[in-house]
Structures are given as C-alpha cells and as structure tokens.
Chain A
C-alpha cells in the first residue's frame, strides 16, 4: 500500500477496533441506557471503518474491500493505535478510553473535512457529527464518575491512569503522515494536541480529577507492534471468516 492508502487504513483500523471493543459491552452494561449508548457508539465506529477500509482497499487496487481488510489480515498488519485495542476493563476504564479517543477523533475529523481526498473529506464531514455526540457522552460520564462516590472516583482515576500512556500515540507523526500531508490528504495531528489538552483539562477540572502524571508514551500500533490484547480481539472478530473463508450472508 502507498502512503495515502495506508493513511485510510489507519483511520479505518482505529474505528474498527474501537467499534469491536465497544460491542463487547452489548448486553453487559451497568444500565439499559448505557448499553444502548455504547452499542450506538460501536455502530458509528464500525460504519466509519467500513467507509475508510473500503477506500483503503480501492486505493490499494488489489481487489480487497473493507471486509477483506477487516477479516483477513493478521494482527501485525493492523495499524490501529494502541489505545483503541485496550481491554474494556470496568465501565470507568471504557469511558476513559472513549473520552481520550473521541475528543481526538472529533478534532481529527474536523480537520480532515478539508482533505483533498474527496472520500476522506466526505466520511469526516459525516462522522464528525456523530463523534461530537461520543465526546459529550464520554465527558458527561467522566464528570459523573469523577465527581461521584469515592468508589466511582477511584475507578475513574484508575481508568484514566491506564489509558493515559496511550494518548501520545494519537498525535505521533511518521513518514506516512508526512507523505499524506504532502499529498494534501492528511493533516498535522501534532497540531491538534493543544486543542485536545484544553478540552481534556476542562472536563477533568469539572470532574474534580487531576490530569494523570506523564509517563513514557507507548507507541508502535501504527506499524503493527500491538499488545497481546489485539490478537484475542481478532480471534473473536475474525472467527467466522477464518472458519468459513469467503462465507456471505
């Protein structure tokens, strides 16, 4: 794949893996409203993934569509950031992941609406409206849990503390980003950081929470160096296509 196709692939992989993770909550959430919310966010992510991965397959030009890319790649071929593959943990940990990611994704999609790739611009313009809902949902819960009981606060702090080490990767730039920017397709993710910090800090302040201590960032997802968790996720997500290759509805 060339840089622009890889760029689309990364966007699709982030959405796909987060959507799959969130769908694990379906039927297990602490309340009906939460169950519906997480399932809806999962659907939005999977919808984005379908569009981005179909595009990546088209740009690659080897006859792979979104389904082929989702179900017939192995773990080291996935280019999602490490944040989205992190296990759900408890509800607070899931919310922490969503909180950090949705604010990033909303800023990213807002910027990508100006992409010279018309499909990326169209997907971003459509998805940004949904992503704004996700960011509000996650922020509301960060405040409710953070400024809640001793128990909910402790869990919210623990969830944020775990997820925080994966935040830097969201804004990390490499050769693929540079080439995509040169082509007018990609954007400078590092430039989103200060807006993201402002948003995150405002919600944390309302939630009476401290920003987690900076620690050494964990990187590697974009080039296929994943945690063990992703392989387990794929075994479930890809089971049907692995057991019955090419099966269709």
Chain B
C-alpha cells in the first residue's frame, strides 16, 4: 500500500465537508459548527442545530451536493437528534472564524450552564467586554442581538446552547 492510498475515504469526506459553508453563516463550515457528528464509510451523520432551524434542509442539500460533486454518490446522510447539538461542539477554529466575521462566539463550555447568557459578550470589533444584550432572539435562531458600549456598534452573539 502506498502512502497516497493511506488517505482514507473518511479523511477525504472530511476535507469535502470542510468546504461546505453554513447557509446562514457562510464564514463557518458545517464541520466548524459541529453539525457533522460522524463520518463513516458509507454514511455521514449530521444533527440539526435548532429544532426549528430553517437551514436544516438547506444544510443537508449542500452536503449532498458536495458529496455528489466529489464522487461520494453512495455515501448516505443520516440525521440524529441525540445527543442534542450544543455550542460547545463549535471548534476553536470555528470560534475564531465567527469572531472575524463579526459574530461573538459563545463562551467555550457554557452550553450547559450559561443558559441565561449572564457572561458578557466580547465585542467582535473592538474586543471590549463593556457590552449589553438588546434582544435574546436575533436574526437567526442561533443568534442574540448585542451592543458594544465602548465602540457603540451593535453585533450578533452566537447564543450559548
């Protein structure tokens, strides 16, 4: 077996998925968000972020299209609800991408405990923690509206979930 062949199908599928953007936050991939739970030989298992997330079907369609385009026509997509998706599954890289995109990432490990979002968000523009929540529900189910009191800019915060 040559070294080239040693790249497994799972790794190749992973590389394909790393280029599939989230339809509502295209700065991050479905891998960054932790939507992809398992990459098997013949199936990719994904989980929805929010029960009512309207992007769930779009995400599945984009993954299907990417798999097909890269020769993985026979790889199925399975959906699982359990265990429920948590913002703790967003990768470190994903968090940095969110910040660079202008969305304050959720604090790591806060998914279970910080439901009430008591920790202050860090302004993705100036880095100040002198911020306040405007509305817990924002432009998409996963985001809340915040405002920075230092630089006066409004910004989205990825909700702890």
Contact = CB atoms under 8 A, between A and B. Distances in A.
Interface residues on A, range: 20 to 34
29 contacts: A33-B137, A37-B137, A39-B137, A40-B137, A41-B137, A42-B52, A43-B50, A43-B52, A43-B53, A43-B141, A44-B52, A44-B141, A47-B51, A48-B52, A122-B80, A122-B81, A122-B82, A125-B82, A125-B83, A126-B48, A127-B51, A130-B50, A130-B52, A130-B141, A133-B115, A133-B159, A136-B116, A136-B136, A137-B136
Given A47-B51, A48-B51, A130-B50, 11 more contacts: A36-B137, A36-B145, A37-B136, A43-B50, A51-B51, A125-B82, A126-B48, A129-B115, A130-B52, A130-B141, A133-B136
B116 A126 contact: no
A138 B51 CA distance: 19
Contacts of A19: 52
Instruction: Report the 5 A-B pairs with minimum CB-CB distance, sorted nearest first.
Output: A47-B52, A43-B52, A47-B51, A33-B135, A122-B82
B109 interface: no
B115 A36 contact: no
A132 B51 CA distance: 13
Given A44-B141, A51-B51, A125 B135 contact: no
Interface in B31-80: 48, 50-54, 80
Interface residues of B, number: 24
Contacts of B21: none
Given A36-B138, A48-B51, A133-B136, A126 B81 contact: yes
B51 A44 contact: yes
Contacts of B51: 44, 47-48, 51, 123, 126-127, 130
B127 interface: no
